[in-house]
Amino acid sequence: METKQLILDGKCVLGIEFGSTRIKAVMVDDKGNPVASGSKEWENDLVDGIWTYSDEAIWNGLAECYADLKKNVQDEFGVTLTSFAAIGFSAMMHGYLPFDENDQLLVPFRTWRNTITGEAADALTSALNFNIPQRWSISHLYQAILNGEEHVPSIRHFTTLAGYVHFRLSGKKVLGVGDASGMFPIDSLTGNYDEKMLDTFEGLISEKKFPWNIREILPEVLSAGEDAGTLTEAGAKLLDVGGDLQAGIPMCPPEGDAGTGMVATNSVAVETGNISAGTSVFAMIVLKENMKNLHQEIDMVTTPTGDPVAMVHCNNCTSEINAWVKLFDEFGKLMGQEFDRGAMFEKLYGIALDGEADCGGLCAYNYFSGEPVTGFSKGAPLFFRSAEDAFTLPNFMRMHLYSALAALKVGLDILTEQEHVSVKKMYGHGGFFKTPKAGQTIASAAIGSPVCVMETAGEGGAWGIALLALYMVAKKDGQSLADYLNDEIYASSTGSELCASSEDIEGFRTFMKKYVAGLAVEKAAVDVL
């Protein structure tokens, strides 16, 4: 009854995130607890060699996701949604959405998944002395300039997917600083785009004499908690095609999925971080200050409040483990046994902890695709051993769990050993951590710091952006985002914290020596296959 009254009073908060395969809505109460959700599956399309989502798919997907939430609320509480205390939108970072003077999209949305900007990314990294990956928005813009694309002179504004959705619903061309940091480098001292790098970019394109400059066409940068406009009448109709939703609802700065992931794992404070491990794996660590040197293995982004964040992103994580579990399942059927897949993962992950700390000398590469952190544009899954190595099931499974995080450790070692980054605690989320203790122990051994898995870690980025919207309307004067999350959201949350033993940490180091030396074997496999 209490939740129903909050809904009737319009005091709940809505967060919607556009993921790569699902649009998800989460509604929270005034304490940040999820009370209802909705979703819509969607997929990108490869059109003329470009990975994209059509404009129609964006708006139909948003409306269907909200309609699903609206129906679920009606079924659960007997209430029709008409208002919220605040709304927030987030989406996959990066990509390219350019608009003309009439706010019409000039080319179909180019997503982060495209690898068509290599020339631009390399040139910008060199010119700015800052790692600019191919998926960044500025790489897409500069590549379009280098290609001489017809639409470029007509650009008057470009943004990310979250920025586009927010603009259509609020009329504001703004972006949260975390999402903006995947468009163009951010100066964490000012919380805005880096002025020197803006000047450098202007110098690169000065001969083109475009009727715009880079400062004019980038979205305005906002920090978490700042006012990002309100839902317009037109925006309300886009979101709720049934026409029940009222205009005038406050909206928080739109954010990227990296920032919402930090919020959803309570890792926005300096010297904390999170590791997301599933089909791919990435780790983000909040830094005291920017790195001293350029490392192309490391992306620099920011928290939703503008603090610098080092990100290590690897393309491969659990796919090879899944392949071996499928093989074991086939063997079971051959022997007349039917196994529950979840129970198989739990048993096999669990037995890995019985393996030797260095996996008995076994080594593997989980490269279903290329792995840029270790210098591979293509991959080939590979397992190898010598006749003297201890080939046992516990060692075999421990090896695969190590291998799932090995490329990530290469990047993390750059941060800890070369940049002397300190990490007090990492928060884990994703399928790798579903089995109690196993994933945590291996991750802690790789990172060398405690790993905490919260009960709420599975709520995801839609919950994260809902919390950012709630923070905007519920924070106390002067209360930082980190303090708000600790004091108001996570104070009573439960979870498990685990730190690997010194033997486990040393065992992972020993494994890594063989792993790094064996990269030549993986290269040979890629060349041959």
- Contact predicate 110/139, CB 8 Å: no
At which of 202, 224, 253 does a domain end?
253
Residues 58 and 119 occupy one common structural domain = yes
Residues 231 and 285 occupy one common structural domain = no
Residues with Cβ within 8 Å of residue 327, at least 6 apart in sequence:
none
User: What is the model's pLDDT at position 280?
Assistant: 85
Confidence of residue 457 (pLDDT cuts 50, 70, 90): low
List of E strands, 79-208:
86-91, 97-99, 157-159, 174-176, 186-187, 192-193
CATH number at residue 289: 3.30.420.40
Residues 453 and 340 occupy one common structural domain = yes
Residue 259 lies in a domain: no
Strand partners, 308: 302
Residues 381 and 451 occupy one common structural domain = yes
Residues 370 and 433 occupy one common structural domain = yes
Look at residue 436 and tell me whether its pLDDT is greater than 90. Answer: no
pLDDT, one tens digit per residue, over 206-238 is 999 999 999 999 999 999 999 999 999 999 999
Residues 295 and 222 occupy one common structural domain = no
Query: What does the pLDDT average to over 470-499?
Result: 92
Q: Return the axis-axis angle of helices 137-146 and 195-205, rounded to nearest 10°.
A: 20
User: What is the model's pLDDT at position 165?
Assistant: 98
Range of the domain at 446: 266-529
Residue 260 lies in a domain: no
Residues 110 and 224 occupy one common structural domain = yes
- How many structural domains is the chain composed of? 2
At which of 208, 232, 253 does a domain end?
253
Residues 331 and 428 occupy one common structural domain = yes
- Contact predicate 239/259, CB 8 Å: no
Residue 327 lies in a domain: yes
At which of 202, 220, 253 does a domain end?
253
Residues 371 and 484 occupy one common structural domain = yes
Residues 249 and 270 occupy one common structural domain = no
Residue 70 lies in a domain: yes
Residues 30 and 121 occupy one common structural domain = yes
Residue 366 lies in a domain: yes
Residue 26 lies in a domain: yes
Residue 258 lies in a domain: no
Confidence of residue 424 (pLDDT cuts 50, 70, 90): confident
Look at residue 283 and tell me whether its pLDDT is greater than 70. Answer: yes
Q: Are strands 451-454 and 425-429 parallel, antiparallel or unpaired?
A: parallel
Using DSSP's 3-state secondary structure scheme, residue 55 falls into helix
pLDDT, one tens digit per residue, over 127-144 is 999 999 999 999 999 999
Residue 261 lies in a domain: no
Average pLDDT of the chain, as a whole number: 95
Using DSSP's 3-state secondary structure scheme, residue 104 falls into coil
Question: Is-above-0.85 flag for pTM?
Answer: yes
pLDDT, one tens digit per residue, over 302-315 is 999 999 999 998 98
Residues 57 and 204 occupy one common structural domain = yes
Query: What does the pLDDT average to over 455-468?
Result: 86
Cα 216 to Cα 63: distance, rounded to the nearest angstrom: 31
